């Protein structure tokens, strides 16, 4: 017993050492962060001129889609640097959770990967007195198809081939269908291992919508947050899928472009029927979003994307994330902050940040309507 | 405690307990406090159980599929269809794999620490094993996904080639080792510290007299262990294993990171697929609507029931072996 107690003491001493060491290290880390933060806000100082803080005050809570987290974080940083005394807190959880929080009235706005469903709109009427929840498209982004095939640097695929790969119909990289799309490329006979998200996800749903619209019979599934096809391998989160693709030879998977650039993963160029295959980039995604039509009624700006677009340089596998707010009946204490913050995110300066960070700005025409609606919020 | 031999107890002066004045009021307050805490605990547990059962019953009453046999989890859809068969299978299978791997190793380590290792080596080893328990499970998950999964590719091929005829080890799909088997190995590593440290404690409590008697009869060290240490420690090792099993059944993040889940039951444990209760709750909770969360609560209740059954069974086994338990020594 005595010996044991001594061990415990020794163990806790070592544990304390580890913990305090970690604290010291993290303390250094946060020091560095503030330094870079200062630098960035200095660099972004000209943008501060575009931020109008009129009436904004206090604390604004928001919650929702993790797909737009990085963009919102940058916005919040610049915004809070320009408007003192205002605190914006975006909790990136998931679209579903964001909408639940919105409909419970605990957040000023919610971020969502998909537009509100009719029953969710119905529910929102309880919170938005005299109004209802509406969708404002704010952040676009390309969903890249990352691949890892030894010796292959460039890969062109079209919708039907992508569908057949994720459907287990095409099993080897040197399949005729892939060869035909990639003349002059030596493809190995490695088995294809395709990765999808193991948890429900808006990214899965958006890829599903694209395949449903363009791949014809090759993709018989309805688009849903849950991965529909049998076979393949699941991994949790975009980062999980990207890590697996990076690790496994013969792998292909889908995730937001920023994950591909962060890990140096090669991405598929999409053969949309345009003259040349389209690269997954923020600009190209914006071009595809420009082909979208507004499907919402009134001030609701939910978009109906045109996945079959053949416009030159338009990359149609895109994700549009919305900010969900009340058109009327926003809480008086947060309304000025919501308006002022969203005015910034929808401004030219706000949208420019998107392009620099792997996202896609909302095309000018739609963006103009978004700004109109933001100014009319009450 | 390990060094307290009966002789010592006999020679020790009787500890006086009655001479020092004790406040009656203090006794009463303490009794009241402990009784109150006990009752409070029961009330809290009961109200949690009532709440969970209520929420689960909402989900179950609207389920279009059979809760026990449906191979699907689509609780947020309209109409909702969900069942726990796959989760039950995956949870039990991965835990069994973990136990089969972990318990013998843990007992081995515990015996080594308590009876074989030189004192100077025993302490650091015990310490390192205990430290394994302090690693958060998400770290195990990341380690599993980044390191363990690629490392197991070779083992998988080997098992498939030489034991493929057993069906269980027949790998039918190409794909990295994000399988229940890998999860089992990871869980085994995770439950190793708890099983080891409890077993070690028990082995250290084997009455010195028993061991010395065996040695005096000319038994080798292995015979001592076989004849006195193992029989004495059996019930302790069983309880240690059950503690480990409890952790394996409920492990969430590590499984969610390593497993490639799919809603089908397959006896080929090297193939990716399957799922566990806790992993499914973690994966589905974020995007679930209120009804979907009720359904997840219902699945959680089944896990609760499963854990209860396992613990009950363990208690039965231990009760039957009471004669050997440390309490009577």
Encode pLDDT of B213-248 as tens digits: 999 999 999 999 998 899 889 888 998 999 899 999
Chain A residues near residue B1 by CB distance under 8 angstroms? 1
pLDDT at residue number A166: 95
**Confidence class of residue B18 from pLDDT cuts 50, 70 and 90?**
low
Find the CB nearest B261 among A201, A234, A248: A234
Residue B296's CB is within 10 A of a number of other CB atoms, namely: 24
* Beta bridge partner(s), residue A323: A111, A136
CB contact under 8 A, A247 and B3: no
Nearest to B126 among A7, A94, A95 (CB): A7
Report pTM: 0.81
How far is it, in rounded angstroms, from Cα A73 to Cα A75? 5
* Boundaries of every domain in chain A: 58-141+321-376, 142-288
The fold for domain A58-141+321-376 equals D-Maltodextrin-Binding Protein; domain 2 (3.40.190)
**A117/B289 Cα distance (integer angstroms):** 12
Residue B8, chain A, CB below 8 Å: the answer is no
Measured between beta carbons, which residues in chain B are less than 8 angstroms from residue A248? 150, 176
What is the interface size between A and B, counted as CB pairs within 8 Å?
84
Burial (CB count within 10 angstroms: exposed 0-12, middle 13-18, buried 19+), residue B164: middle
B79 touches chain A (CB under 8 A): no
Whether B134 contacts chain A with CB within 8 A: yes
State the pLDDT confidence band at B8, using cuts at 50, 70 and 90.
very low
- Lowest-pLDDT range, A179-183, B200-204, B282-286? B282-286
C-beta of residue B242 within 8 angstroms of C-beta of residue B312: no
Q: Are the C-beta atoms of residues A146 and A252 closer than 8 Å to each other? A: yes
The model's confidence at residue B5, banded by pLDDT at 50, 70 and 90, is very low
The phi and psi torsions of A148 (rounded to 5 degrees) equal -140, 90
Listed in sequence order, the residues at least 6 apart from A38 whose beta carbon sits closer than 8 Å to its beta carbon are: none
Q: Which residues in A lie closer than 8 A to residue B146 (C-beta atoms)?
A: 243, 247
Q: Cβ B127–A193 below 8 Å, yes or no?
A: no
Nearest to A124 by CA among A150, A107, A105, A146: A105
Q: Is the ipTM of this complex over 0.85?
A: no
Indicate the fold that domain A142-288 takes in CATH: D-Maltodextrin-Binding Protein; domain 2 (3.40.190)
Token pair for residue A88?
């914006």
Q: Give mean pLDDT in consecutive 10-residue pieces for chain A, a chain of 378 residues.
A: 49 51 44 38 48 84 89 92 90 86 92 89 90 94 94 94 94 94 93 92 92 93 89 89 93 93 93 92 93 89 92 93 92 90 92 88 92 92
How close is the nearest chain A Cα to the Cα of B97, in Å? 21
Average pLDDT, chain B: 87
Q: Enter the tokens of residue A311.
A: 């416009």
B126 chain-A contacts, CB cut-off 8 A: 7
Mean pLDDT of B153-161: 91
Of B2, B174, B288, which has the smallest distance from its Cβ to A96's Cβ? B288
**Least CA distance to A237: which residue of chain B?**
B257
Cβ–Cβ under 8 Å, residues B95 and B78 = no
Q: How far apart are CA A145 and CA A259, in angstroms?
A: 11
What's residue A24's pLDDT?
43
What is the C-alpha separation between B132 and B121, in angstroms, rounded?
17
Q: Is the pLDDT of residue B2 over 50?
A: no
Residues 139-158 (B) with a CB less than 8 A from some CB of A: 145-146, 150
pLDDT at A46: 44
Q: Do B283 and A236 touch (CB under 8 A)?
A: yes
How far apart CA B75 and CA B297 sit, in angstroms, is: 11
Residues in A touching B178 (Cβ below 8 Å): 233-235
Bridge-based pairing state of the strands A233-235 and A86-92? unpaired
How confident is the model at residue A272, as a pLDDT? 92
Quick one: DSSP state of residue B167? Answer: S
Q: Which of A6, A95, A236, A252 to mutate to test the interface with B (most CBs of B within 10 A)?
A: A236
Say yes or no: A226 contacts chain B, CB-CB below 8 A: yes
Residue A151: predicted pLDDT: 92
Tell me, what's the pLDDT at B21?
Answer: 60
């Amino acid at each position: 017993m005595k010996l044991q107690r001594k061990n415990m003491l020794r163990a806790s001493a070592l544990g304390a050492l580890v913990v305090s060491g970690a604290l010291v290290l993290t303390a250094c880390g946060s020091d560095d962060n503030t330094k870079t933060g200062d630098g960035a806000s200095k660099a972004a100082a000209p943008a501060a001129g575009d931020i109008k803080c009129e009436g904004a005050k206090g604390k604004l809570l928001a919650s929702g889609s993790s797909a737009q987290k990085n963009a919102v974080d940058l916005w919040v940083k610049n915004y809070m640097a320009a408007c003192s005394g205002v605190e914006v807190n975006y909790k990136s959880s998931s679209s579903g959770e964001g909408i639940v929080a919105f409909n419970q009235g605990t957040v000023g706005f919610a971020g969502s990967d998909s537009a509100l469903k009719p029953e969710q709109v119905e529910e929102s009427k309880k919170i938005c007195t005299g109004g209802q929840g509406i969708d404002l498209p704010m952040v676009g982004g390309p969903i890249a198809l990352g691949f890892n095939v030894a010796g292959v640097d460039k890969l062109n695929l079209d919708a039907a081939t992508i569908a057949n790969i994720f459907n287990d119909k095409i099993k080897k990289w040197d399949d005729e269908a892939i060869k035909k799309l990639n003349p002059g490329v030596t493809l190995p006979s490695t088995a294809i291992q395709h990765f999808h998200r193991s948890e429900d996800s808006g990214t899965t749903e958006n890829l599903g919508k694209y395949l449903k619209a363009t791949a014809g019979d090759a993709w018989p599934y309805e688009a849903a947050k849950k991965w529909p096809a049998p076979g393949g391998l699941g991994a949790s989160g975009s980062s999980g899928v990207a890590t697996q693709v990076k690790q496994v030879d013969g792998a292909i998977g889908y995730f937001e472009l920023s994950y591909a650039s962060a890990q140096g993963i090669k991405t598929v160029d999409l053969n949309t029927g345009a003259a040349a295959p389209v690269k997954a980039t923020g600009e190209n995604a914006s071009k595809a979003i420009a082909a979208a039509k507004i499907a919402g009624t009134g001030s609701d700006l939910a978009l109906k994307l045109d996945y079959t677009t053949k416009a030159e340089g338009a990359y149609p596998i895109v994700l549009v994330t919305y900010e969900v707010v009340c058109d009327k009946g926003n809480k008086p204490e947060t309304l000025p902050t919501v308006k002022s913050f969203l005015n910034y995110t929808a401004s030219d300066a706000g949208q420019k940040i998107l392009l620099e960070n792997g996202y896609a700005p909302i095309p000018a025409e739609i963006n103009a309507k978004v700004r109109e609606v933001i100014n009319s919020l009450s | 405690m390990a060094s307290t031999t009966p002789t010592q107890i006999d020679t020790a002066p009787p500890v006086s307990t009655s001479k020092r004045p004790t406040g009656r009021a203090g006794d009463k307050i303490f009794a009241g406090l402990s009784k109150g805490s006990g009752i409070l605990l029961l009330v809290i547990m009961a109200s949690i159980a009532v709440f969970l059962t209520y929420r689960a019953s909402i989900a179950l009453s609207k389920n279009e599929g059979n809760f026990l046999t449906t191979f699907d989890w689509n609780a947020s859809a309209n109409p909702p269809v969900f069942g726990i068969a796959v989760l039950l299978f995956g949870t039990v299978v991965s835990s069994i794999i973990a136990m089969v791997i972990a318990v013998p190793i843990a007992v081995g380590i515990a015996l080594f620490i308590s009876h074989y290792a030189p004192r100077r080596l025993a302490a650091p080893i015990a310490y390192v094993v205990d430290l394994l328990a302090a690693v958060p499970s998400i770290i195990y998950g990341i380690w599993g996904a980044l390191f363990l999964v690629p490392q197991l590719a070779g083992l998988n091929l080997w098992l498939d080639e030489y034991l493929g005829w057993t069906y269980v080890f027949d790998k039918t799909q190409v794909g990295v080792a994000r399988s229940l088997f890998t999860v089992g190995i990871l869980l085994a590593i995770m439950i190793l510290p708890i099983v080891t440290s409890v077993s070690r404690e028990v082995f250290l409590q084997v009455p010195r007299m028993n061991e010395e008697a065996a040695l005096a009869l000319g038994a080798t060290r292995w015979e001592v262990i076989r004849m006195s240490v193992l029989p004495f420690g059996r019930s302790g090792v069983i309880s240690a294993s059950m503690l480990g099993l409890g952790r394996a059944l409920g492990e969430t993040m590590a499984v969610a990171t390593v497993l490639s889940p799919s809603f089908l039951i397959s006896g080929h444990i090297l193939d990716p697929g399957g799922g566990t209760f806790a992993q499914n709750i973690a994966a589905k909770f974020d995007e679930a609507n209120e009804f979907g969360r009720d359904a997840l609560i219902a699945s959680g209740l089944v896990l609760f029931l499963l854990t209860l059954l396992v613990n009950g069974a363990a208690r039965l086994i231990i009760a039957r072996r009471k004669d050997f338990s440390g309490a009577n020594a």
